[in-house]
Structure 1
Amino acid sequence: MARVRARLSTVISLATLLAATACSSPLTPSKPDELVIGADLELSGAYAEMGSAFERALRLRVEQLNATGDRPIRIVYRDNRSDKSLSQSNIAALAADSEISAIITGACGECALASAAAVTQKSIPLLSLAGASELADTDKAGRFVFKVGPNAKDGAAALVAQLSSTGVKKVALITTNDQYGDDGEAALRDALKNAKIDLQTTREVSVTATEFSQTVTSAVSEKPDALIAWTGASVAGEIAVDARNTGFEGKLLFDTGAGGDLFFNKATANAAEGAMMAFPQTMVIDEVIATNPAKSFRQQWFRDYTASYGGYSGYASYAADALELLVEAANRSGSTSRSSLRDTLDFLQIDGFTGPLSFRPDDHSAVMPQTLTLLVVRGGRWRLAS
Structure 2
Amino acid sequence: MRAALLAGCTVFAAAAAQGQEPLKIGEINSYKAQPAFLEPYRKGMELAVEEINAAGGVDGRKIELVIRDDNANPGDAVRQAEELLSREKVQMLVGGFLSNTGLALSDFAKQKKIAYLAGEPLTDRLTWQGGNRYTFRLRPGTYTQAAMLVPDAAKLNKKRWAVVYPNYEYGQSAAAAFKTLLKAAQPDVEFVAEQATPLGKVDAGSVVQAVADAQPDAIVNMLFGADLSKFVREGNTRGLFKDRAVVSILTGEPEYLDPLKGEAPNGWIVTGYPYASIDTPAHKAFLNAYETKFKDYPRLGSLVGYTMIKSAAAGLAKAKSTDSEKLVDAFEGLEVDMPLGKISFRPQDHQSTMGAFVGQTRNVDGKGEMVDYRYLSGADPKFQPPTAQIEKSRAAQ
Task: Determine if the alignment matches structure 1 residue 377 to structure 2 residue 369.
Answer: no
What is the TM-score normalised by the length of structure 1? 0.82
Task: Please report how far the alpha carbon of residue 334 of structure 1 lies from its aligned counterpart in structure 2 after TM superposition.
Answer: 2.2
**Counterpart in the other structure of 1:317:** 303
1:355-374 alignment, distance < 5 Å: 355-368=341-354, 370-374=355-359
Q: Deviations over 1:251-310 (max 9, x none)?
A: 232203762428624x6433423223123xxx22431332xxxxx222222333344152
Partner SS for 1:38: strand
Task: Please report how far the alpha carbon of residue 187 of structure 1 lies from its aligned counterpart in structure 2 after TM superposition.
Answer: 0.3
Q: What is the rounded CA distance, in whole Å, between the counterparts of 1:309 and 1:338 in structure 2?
A: 38
Task: Please report how far the alpha carbon of residue 98 of structure 1 lies from its aligned counterpart in structure 2 after TM superposition.
Answer: 6.5
Paired AA for residue 215 in structure 2:
K
1:77 to 59, 67, 77: 67
**Counterpart in the other structure of 2:315:** 329
Q: What is the rounded CA distance, in whole Å, between the counterparts of 2:290 and 2:266 in structure 1?
A: 25
**Counterpart in the other structure of 1:18:** none
Task: Determine if the alignment matches structure 1 residue 195 to structure 2 residue 185.
Answer: yes
Q: What is the rounded CA distance, in whole Å, between the counterparts of 2:306 and 2:265 in structure 1?
A: 28
**Counterpart in the other structure of 2:226:** 234
Task: Determine if the alignment matches structure 1 residue 216 to structure 2 residue 208.
Answer: yes
Q: What is the rounded CA distance, in whole Å, between the counterparts of 1:160 and 1:117 in structure 2?
A: 31
Q: Which has the higher contact order (CA 8 A, sep 6+)?
A: 2
1:112-131 alignment, distance < 5 Å: 112-128=102-118, 129-131=120-122
Task: Please report how far the alpha carbon of residue 122 of structure 1 lies from its aligned counterpart in structure 2 after TM superposition.
Answer: 2.7
Task: Please report how far the alpha carbon of residue 141 of structure 1 lies from its aligned counterpart in structure 2 after TM superposition.
Answer: 3.3
Q: What is the rounded CA distance, in whole Å, between the counterparts of 1:173 and 1:35 in structure 2?
A: 45
**Counterpart in the other structure of 1:247:** 239
1:250-289 alignment, distance < 5 Å: 250-256=244-250, 259-261=253-255, 264-265=258-259, 268-279=261-272, 283-289=273-279
Larger-gyration structure (1/2): 1
Q: What is the rounded CA distance, in whole Å, between the counterparts of 1:121 and 1:50 in structure 2?
A: 29
2:131 to 126, 130, 141: 141
1:164 to 129, 135, 154: 154
Paired AA for residue 39 in structure 2:
S
Aligned residues between the structures: 350
1:100 to 86, 90, 97: 90
Q: Deviations over 1:81-107 (max 9, x none)?
A: 112211111112223346311111221
1:300 to 271, 275, 285: 285
**Counterpart in the other structure of 1:8:** none
Partner SS for 1:57: helix
Q: What is the rounded CA distance, in whole Å, between the counterparts of 1:185 and 1:233 in structure 2?
A: 17
1:40 to 20, 28, 35: 28
Partner SS for 1:224: coil
Q: What is the rounded CA distance, in whole Å, between the counterparts of 1:218 and 1:337 in structure 2?
A: 53
Q: Deviations over 1:27-57 (max 9, x none)?
A: x9x9776321000011112x33333332222
Partner SS for 1:253: strand
Q: What is the rounded CA distance, in whole Å, between the counterparts of 1:172 and 1:210 in structure 2?
A: 16
Over 3 Å counting, the alpha-carbon distance change for 1:70 and 1:79 in structure 2 is closer
Task: Please report how far the alpha carbon of residue 127 of structure 1 lies from its aligned counterpart in structure 2 after TM superposition.
Answer: 1.2
Q: Does the aligned pair in 2 maintain the 1:130–1:150 contact within 8 Å?
A: no
What is the TM-score normalised by the length of structure 2? 0.80
Paired AA for residue 348 in structure 2:
D
Paired AA for residue 122 in structure 2:
G
Over 3 Å counting, the alpha-carbon distance change for 1:258 and 1:177 in structure 2 is farther
CA RMSD of aligned residues (A): 2.7
Q: Does the aligned pair in 2 maintain the 1:233–1:259 contact within 8 Å?
A: no
**Percent identity over the alignment?**
17
Over 3 Å counting, the alpha-carbon distance change for 1:103 and 1:286 in structure 2 is same
**Counterpart in the other structure of 1:182:** 172
Q: Deviations over 1:233-268 (max 9, x none)?
A: 332232222112111211232203762428624x64
Q: Does the aligned pair in 2 maintain the 1:169–1:198 contact within 8 Å?
A: yes
Q: What is the rounded CA distance, in whole Å, between the counterparts of 1:194 and 1:109 in structure 2?
A: 26
Q: Deviations over 1:55-90 (max 9, x none)?
A: 222122212222233431110000111122111111
Partner SS for 1:65: helix
Q: What is the rounded CA distance, in whole Å, between the counterparts of 2:254 and 2:140 in structure 1?
A: 13
Q: Deviations over 1:324-348 (max 9, x none)?
A: 1111112222223333221100121
